[in-house]
Structure 1
Amino acid sequence: MQLQSNNSKMFDFAIIGGGVVGCAMARQLVLDGAKVILLEKAADILDGASKGNSAILHTGFDAPVGSLEQKCITKGYEDYLALHEQMELPILKSGAMVLAWNTQQEAKLDELIDQAHQNGVADVIRLTRQQILDREPNLSPNVKGGFLVPGECLIDPWSSPHAYLTQALLNGGEVRRNAELLSGSFEGDHWHLNTQAGSITARTVISCAGLYGDVVNQRLIGKKLFSIRPRKGQFVVFDKAASKVSSTIILPVPTATTKGIVVCRTIFGNLLIGPTAEEQESRTDASTERETLRDLRQKGIDMFPTLANYDIAATYAGLRPASEEKDYRLTYLAEQNYLSVGGIRSTGLSSALGLARYCAEELLKSSKNFSAIKGPIIPKANRLSDYHPRDWQGSDHGEIVCHCEMVTKREIEQALQDPLPAKSLQGLKRRTRAAMGRCQGFNCMGTLASLTEGHFDRPIGEADHD
């Protein structure tokens, strides 16, 4: 498949940013019949804000009532449930409980339930303390009360956007990686974009640049429509054995600034605690701090005392592209054929499909004159869930390369050869989970280096193992 564009080609849309929102946007517009190219500055997609999150598919029960965020999450949730069967995207319908641990939090429960009902999430119900403990017997008896949100789910945060963009490519879209936007000019009815990978011509530009959304706005239209304020979220991941401690997503009563610390399983069979919410200036510093991680572990133990008996398998941090306002920051400049999509913060994974549909149907309708693709090609996602059938359980997979995560040689080879092949170690990890287990690649890195030789822009021996 030809993934590099012809510099003389005119695209209908150039999408800047290969995070979950950009990938969903590319899919939507390609299926609508447009000529689309996605530009990503890194060697692989999902290398910014989308690489670190809690991997929950939210119902939008706690979004601000009537907000754009709430509308996009609601539609994105519906679209994901419809799409996951077609693409074989893994989903674990675990439900969630919002729990109060003191009288002040308990006093807010009825208000939150009413908010959920106003948001159309009608199955949210109040639970007594005993009902909570019956559902989660390992919980601390100090819990005061809470309510159940049956529709909250756990998903794979990387196979989903990978599948979105793969579908765009299979149906005529294009992608260019290592293509940081340097500058651009609008000339009457189209854009000329200069990138590190060459020039691009497109009628309309859509910025989905996440942590660099304000930077892209400045480079293209000469002003910032908002200012990104990076918010770091650190996570602790317990060993797979700890996944039996809890079966439900445990959510706190949110504050005015954060959704708070979550305890939940992951689709990959671990148990996760996080994120923190730390304002910072750096758009790249995703480091973790020992004391913060200790506090996170202790908060988990306070809620589930038996977690004290389990080991930590990994830690990580993600950066959320927060802005000055809580709601999404969408601006369409029709006179310049420019759409800025920013300030998506922590709900992009849940809202991406709905956000892409909203932009296509509401904001870009005046610039669209396309015929939707009939019978589009639908790719099948990599099934990396520990709660669904895996490749290692089948035959002729070659060998198991990563024993911590049970990743086969066939999965590695497919990730290097598919329409959107992995071009970095981090990209390979997100596609296969190789080297993401307890030993963090200690036992499989040599084999991975051999299998990926000639496929990456930087060989594994030269790459940063972050």
Structure 2
Amino acid sequence: MRGVSGRGFAMVSDVAIIGAGVVGCALARRFALEGIGVTLIEAGSDILSGASKANSAILHTGFDAPPGSLELACIKAGHAEYLAIREAMGLPLLRCGALVVAWSEAEEEALEGIRAQALGNGIGNVALVGQERLRAMEPQLSTQARAALHVPDEALIDPWSPFLAYVEQAMAHGATVQLNTRVTGGTFDGEAWHIDTSTGTLSARLVINCAGNQGDVIEKLLLGASDFEIRPRKGQFVVFDKAAHGLASAVILPVPNERTKGVVVTRTVFGNLLVGPTAEEQEDRERTEVDHDQLEALIRRGVEILPALAHMPVTACYAGLRPATEKKDYRITAKPGQNWISVGGIRSTGLSAALGIARYVFGLYASRGRKGTPVDSPSIPVVPNLTEHMPRDYASPGYGEIICHCELVTRREIETALARPLPAGDFGGLKRRTRCAMGRCQGFNCSARLASLTRGRFPVSLDAGEAR
């Protein structure tokens, strides 16, 4: 069953999960597969509508994660589980590897330390690469590159479709999804939580808070205090045209510093080339406007790394807010006396670690003696392929018409996205399910047709300007 926006509902769940970002979606799947009743609560009109909608789509190995950290354990577990389930669900993987590139003598000296850290983290197939070998591997890379550390198991994925699959699998095993539902308060009676929301009141025996950039706000609202402080960190990205896709084979990573992992240059599974992110501290938890000067700086840095980018047009730019806290590690804690688990501070590695985080959090739940009846033969939803290295829908007969010519999105794909067990809840959700309006014209040519096909389906219609 799926709740959408019905008012005045009353339900009791084993677990209420606040926030349907990448972590919330993975949590809903894990708990449902373990036979636990789940309600997933999301303030937005669709899943992944907050911090999770903007990322670099890299499936990390954990080679550079803090040694011995919870982050490292979750990344490694999440990476392994993704590889184990991806084929059955139709989840893509582009095996490309990564190169941590040194641009100065000091950075070159630092590579050995990064290599030692990777080996200590259990990533044993990394190797130092000299300048000659580096040029052979990446011919378009600037001649200023001195050396690199090669991490062959880093990969690229579709950053959105896996989490749709996770939620739909959870729904197939009893989970309820409440979209357009903002938490406004709540009380704990010693046995269960009674959560007030914008669409009614629900009760749950346990609350898991993974509200991203609102995580500490939710803690203070329901618990009265928070053990962590969200300090939003904006990351801006530049997306170069598809002609730039072939300029790099591997993910090109910088030598990180204490504050940030730095600017990355990478292909995307959608056939573009991405440069970013920036790392900008800000107080506002929702504002994701892009900044001209920052974007120009990103473009300049991209050209310094791959000189041929100087002749490539930019297709799009976007920004996301990472829910950083005052500490680097994940902030995952259980409060048994309050039937509460906090999942905070899940920053840029959350995409890779989500499945591992879900397993860890379920372990916290089960350690209190709680358990369900695990599903013996789980339903396995299959999501449509959106990536360029696998067959697309337009190559199969009967697709109806091409709606978005920039990204070759078919009418059949649009209709499927609106008819799935969890249909697209807004235009952003439709874009993430199909790639429509994400190409060179950014929806200029297909918006009218999309408005016709989606009329009456979204809280804000495309006719009212949502396509912009």
Correspondence list, 1:241-252, <5 A = 241-252=243-254
Report if the CA contact (8 A) 1:425-1:463 is conserved.
no
Deviations 1:387-414 (A, max 9, x none): 1111011010111100111100011001
1:310 paired residue number: 312
Q: Verify: 1:229 aligned to 2:231, yes or no.
A: yes
Deviations 1:226-251 (A, max 9, x none): 11000000101000010011111000
2:391 paired residue number: 389
1:3 paired residue number: 3
> For 2:422, what is the secondary structure of its paired residue?
coil
Report if the CA contact (8 A) 1:32-1:372 is conserved.
yes
Deviations 1:312-335 (A, max 9, x none): 000001110000000000121001
What amino acid is aligned across from residue 320 of structure 2 in structure 1? G
Deviation at 1:365, TM superposition (A): 2.8
2:19 paired residue number: 17
Provide structure 2 residue ranges, at least 5 long, that are not aligned to the other structure.
none
Q: TM-score w.r.t. structure 1 length?
A: 0.98
2:429 paired residue number: 427
Deviations 1:345-393 (A, max 9, x none): 1111000000000110235431522110110100001210011111011
Deviation at 1:56, TM superposition (A): 0.3
Choose from 102, 108, 130 the match for 2:110. Answer: 108
Report if the CA contact (8 A) 1:227-1:323 is conserved.
yes
Correspondence list, 1:300-339, <5 A = 300-339=302-341
1:276 paired residue number: 278
Q: Verify: 1:179 aligned to 2:156, yes or no.
A: no
Q: Verify: 1:144 aligned to 2:146, yes or no.
A: yes
Deviation at 1:188, TM superposition (A): 1.6
What amino acid is aligned across from residue 90 of structure 1 in structure 2? P
Choose from 195, 214, 217 the match for 1:215. Answer: 217
Deviations 1:13-43 (A, max 9, x none): 0000010000000000000001101000011
Deviation at 1:162, TM superposition (A): 1.2
Choose from 120, 123, 126 the match for 1:121. Answer: 123
Find the aligned partners of 1:258 and 1:464 in 2 and give their Cα distance.
33
2:450 paired residue number: 448
Deviation at 1:69, TM superposition (A): 0.3
Find the aligned partners of 1:463 and 1:354 in 2 and give their Cα distance.
39
Kindly report the root-mean-square deviation, in angstroms, between the aligned alpha carbons of the 2 structures.
Answer: 1.2
Deviations 1:126-169 (A, max 9, x none): 11111110000111111111110000000011111111111101
What amino acid is aligned across from residue 444 of structure 2 in structure 1? F
1:49 paired residue number: 51
1:457 paired residue number: 459
What amino acid is aligned across from residue 38 of structure 1 in structure 2? L
Q: TM-score w.r.t. structure 2 length?
A: 0.98
Q: Number of residue pairs matched?
A: 466
Report if the CA contact (8 A) 2:334-2:340 is conserved.
yes
Q: Verify: 1:133 aligned to 2:152, yes or no.
A: no
Report if the CA contact (8 A) 2:2-2:178 is conserved.
no
> For 2:321, what is the secondary structure of its paired residue?
strand
Find the aligned partners of 1:370 and 1:130 in 2 and give their Cα distance.
57
Identical positions, percent = 51
Question: Following superposition, which runs of at least 4 residues in structure 1 exceed 4 angstroms of deviation?
Answer: none
Correspondence list, 1:367-378, <5 A = 367-378=369-380
What amino acid is aligned across from residue 156 of structure 1 in structure 2? D
Find the aligned partners of 2:143 and 2:293 in 1 and give their Cα distance.
26
Provide structure 1 residue ranges, at least 5 long, that are not aligned to the other structure.
none
Choose from 395, 411, 414 the match for 1:412. Answer: 414
Find the aligned partners of 2:328 and 2:58 in 1 and give their Cα distance.
19
What amino acid is aligned across from residue 34 of structure 1 in structure 2? I
What amino acid is aligned across from residue 293 of structure 1 in structure 2? L
Deviation at 1:434, TM superposition (A): 0.5
> For 1:164, what is the secondary structure of its paired residue?
helix
What amino acid is aligned across from residue 337 of structure 2 in structure 1? E
Report if the CA contact (8 A) 2:38-2:176 is conserved.
yes
Find the aligned partners of 1:400 and 1:311 in 2 and give their Cα distance.
24
Deviation at 1:175, TM superposition (A): 0.2
Find the aligned partners of 1:10 and 1:376 in 2 and give their Cα distance.
23
What amino acid is aligned across from residue 409 of structure 1 in structure 2? R
Deviation at 1:461, TM superposition (A): 2.1
